[in-house]
Amino acid sequence: MLTQSIRPKPLLRRKGITIYPIHRHDNADDVRREFWYGYSPDCSDHGTDAFDVREVPGYDGPTGIFRLGETPQAARFDPPAFLRRAIDEGALQRHISLGR
């Protein structure tokens, strides 16, 4: 079966920064990564233009590790809201410029 590479639509634009979602294996037929985003329209699953939102200073959402009885749905967070706050506070820009 052929897979389809994609160029993702922006998740958000703020203060001159555009954030894109990343799909596993850069494939439109695969799932969107929950914690990984990029700052380039050509962001890649393993590219240098990708970042793990959990490593951005100020992140206080789920870690991806769930306790017994906890479901991922119960631990969901709002990535656009966090990323807007991180951009407004300069945390994302510092994280990117430090090379993670």
pLDDT of residue 41: 81
Note the Cα 93 to chain centre separation in Å: 14
Going by pLDDT thresholds of 50, 70 and 90, the confidence category of residue 68 is low
Average of pLDDT values for 55-78?
67
Closest CA to 79 of 92, 67, 70, 66: 92
Going by pLDDT thresholds of 50, 70 and 90, the confidence category of residue 83 is very high
Q: What percent of the chain has pLDDT over 90?
A: 21
pLDDT of residue 89: 92
pLDDT of residue 13: 95
What is the overall mean pLDDT for the chain?
78
pTM of the model: 0.74
**CB atoms inside a 10 Å sphere around CB 77:** 13
Alpha helix (H) ranges present in 1-100?
79-89, 91-97
Residue 50 clears pLDDT 80, i.e. is over it = yes
Closest CA to 62 of 25, 33, 35, 90: 35
Inter-residue contact 82 to 11 (CB < 8 Å): no
Classify the phi-psi angles of 25: left when phi > 0, otherwise alpha if psi is within -120 to 50, otherwise beta: left
